[in-house]
Every structure is written in C-alpha cells, then in structure tokens.
Amino acid sequence: MNRSEGAVEVRGLMAIELQGGQAPARAALDPATAGELAQKLARDLAEHAPQARELDLVVAAAHFDPAEALRPGWPLHRRLQELAQRAPGAAEGPRIIAFGADADGAVPQPLQADPDLRGGSLRVLPFLLRGDADIARTVGEQFEAVLLERGMAAADTALLAQQAFAVPTEHIRYLTVHDLAAITAMQYQHQGLEALWPLIETALLQPDAEQWLDAPPEPLLRYADGEVRIALFDPDAWRRRYAPGTDDRAVLERGFQLFQARQRQYAAVLGAHDIPVQFVHCGGSDGPDSLC
C-alpha cells in the first residue's frame, strides 16, 4: 500500500502462468475486452475483500515480465495512477478503468513491455485500487492475508484472459506486489541468485537504506543512493581475496573468468529490475571499504 494525495493505493497483479513456454499472441487487449476483463477482475477481488467495491479499480490490460513490476518506485503502478488521474469519469462513486491497446490495436507507450524481458513462463497485469485511506488499508491487509494462498481467478475470468491474449495457460491468479516479491525471491533461490535478493529487496522497500553483498566467493556489491556498485578487481587483487594460497595458473584463470561471468549475471539481473549498476575499480585492497 502507498499513501498519496490523501488516498491509499493497493498495488496488485493478475499473474498468468503460461503453458509450454508459449508467448501471448497479443501484447494488450482492445478497449471492449479490456473493460470486460476489468469487470470480472473487480468481481473476483471483491470475493476476497468486499470493501474493494468501494475503491477505484485501475487495470492495465497489458502483460509484463515480473521484473518490470518489481522496480524501485513501482513504475508500472505509478503509470496506472497517472493514467487514471487523466481519465474522464463521474466524480461520485468508485470507477473501474481499464487501459489497453487503442482502437487500431497499437499499444500506447505507457503500456509497452520491455522487449528484452520476454520468454519467461510468468506474465503479470498490474492493477491498482485507490480511494478512502481506511478502506484501502483494510482491503490491502485482507489481500496480503489471502491472495497468495487463495487468490485464483474465477473460471470465466481465466478463460477470458486466455482467449483474449491467445495463449494457453496453466494458472491465473491474483497477487499483491509483496506476494510477487516473495515468489521471485524463491525463484532466485532456486536459480542460485539468493545472495543478490537482499539488495533488490532493499531497493524496492527501503530505497534510502544501504545493503552489502560481502560473502566470498560471491562478487562484492553495495547498494546505496539508489544504485548498486560492483567491485572490479584486477587478477592479483582477486586472487588475494578469493583464492589465497592457490598458485595454479590455469585454476586461477578459470576462477577469475567465472567470477567475471558472475558479475555480469548480477548486473543483468539488477538491470532487469531497473536498478542502476556502476562498476568500481577497487585497486589492491581486499576489504569492503575499497568499494566507494
């Protein structure tokens, strides 16, 4: 949840688990289908938190990679807020607003997914609930308590989404952004990236804080001031920190190459989350104070 201009926002997502590695045929839905999907989504959410009916619901009928939803400042949801503020509508009563492709089928820039983040098995559609602070807080707390375990989309909602995006699906469910973060953390653990997650989590939830990754044989990283600095070592400095007592040249060369590949992998993952990365030469010091 997020307090903004006297309102509280509840950030959520429709998560579509794709079947067989197939990609959706459509990047975004036409206005009529987007509106129909948003109506069903509103009904489903109200089953888990009845007071959700009293809040504005804003839906992006376009799908994104989960990393795009887990970026500092929550840019996908911020775009929804900005679009909703410009949307026409009656001043009284909650609204259901859906954004998708235009009448010609083109996807407007605010809803265009990152073309470099395609091919994953999970795509997400962001939605935003916004309104009275007390109601939104209650709804947000209820969502946090139930969606991860019981937030499956209704059968007709799932069928509509599958047909509209023209892709076979395994499951379609609702999540909060915190639920998605927890799922992503587990996935990164299975991929051997668990050491990097605390930096990403800090950038998302405590952007003004500081977080280190200082755990050899992992690269040395520091998150601060909105960016991650990755320490660059020359071969001798790397050997002193990561391979003391090893003199086999072939082993050292291979180890250094693997270390550099790991640095590139970490930089790519951070880039997917739109966390700026700066490589910093550390000279001969092998302690964390060398990362400035």
In the structure, what pLDDT confidence band is assigned to residue 104 with cuts at 50, 70 and 90?
A: confident
Which of 90-104, 105-119, 146-160 is least confident? 90-104
Q: Delimit the domains of the chain by residue range.
A: 2-190, 197-290
- The rounded mean pLDDT for the chain is 92
In the structure, what pLDDT confidence band is assigned to residue 7 with cuts at 50, 70 and 90?
A: low
Dihedrals phi, psi of 96, to nearest 5 degrees? -115, 115
Instruction: Give the pLDDT score at 5.
Output: 42
CA distance 213 to 277: 14
Residue 259, pLDDT above cutoff 50: yes
Residue 2, pLDDT above cutoff 70: no
In the structure, what pLDDT confidence band is assigned to residue 3 with cuts at 50, 70 and 90?
A: very low
Instruction: Give the pLDDT score at 283.
Output: 64
Query: What pLDDT digit, counting tens, does each position of 46-78 carry?
Result: 999 999 999 999 999 999 999 999 999 999 999
Other CB atoms within a 10 A radius of the CB of residue 132 amount to 16
The string of DSSP letters for 207-269 reads TTS-EEE--TTSPPEEEETTEEEEEE--HHHHHHHH-TT---HHHHHHHHHHHHHHHHHHHHH
Instruction: Give the pLDDT score at 103.
Output: 81
Query: Going along 119-208, which residue ranges are E strands?
Result: 122-131, 169-176
In the structure, what pLDDT confidence band is assigned to residue 86 with cuts at 50, 70 and 90?
A: confident
Instruction: Give the pLDDT score at 88.
Output: 73
In the structure, what pLDDT confidence band is assigned to residue 246 with cuts at 50, 70 and 90?
A: confident
Residue 231, pLDDT above cutoff 80: yes
Instruction: Give the pLDDT score at 243.
Output: 92
Average pLDDT over residues 80-89: 84
Bridge partner residues of 173 (DSSP): 15, 152
In the structure, what pLDDT confidence band is assigned to residue 1 with cuts at 50, 70 and 90?
A: low
pTM of the model: 0.91
Cα torsion for 105, 109, 115, 118, to the nearest 10°? -70
The pLDDT > 70 percentage for the chain reads 93
The pLDDT > 90 percentage for the chain reads 82
In the structure, what pLDDT confidence band is assigned to residue 286 with cuts at 50, 70 and 90?
A: very low
* Secondary structure (H, E, C), 55-94: CEEEEECECECHHHHCCCCCHHHHHHHHHHHHCCCCCCCC
Instruction: Give the pLDDT score at 4.
Output: 40
Q: State the maximum Cα–Cα separation within the chain, in Å, rounded to a whole number.
A: 75
CA distance 75 to 215: 31
CA 169 to chain centre: 20
Place of tokens 């950038």: 203
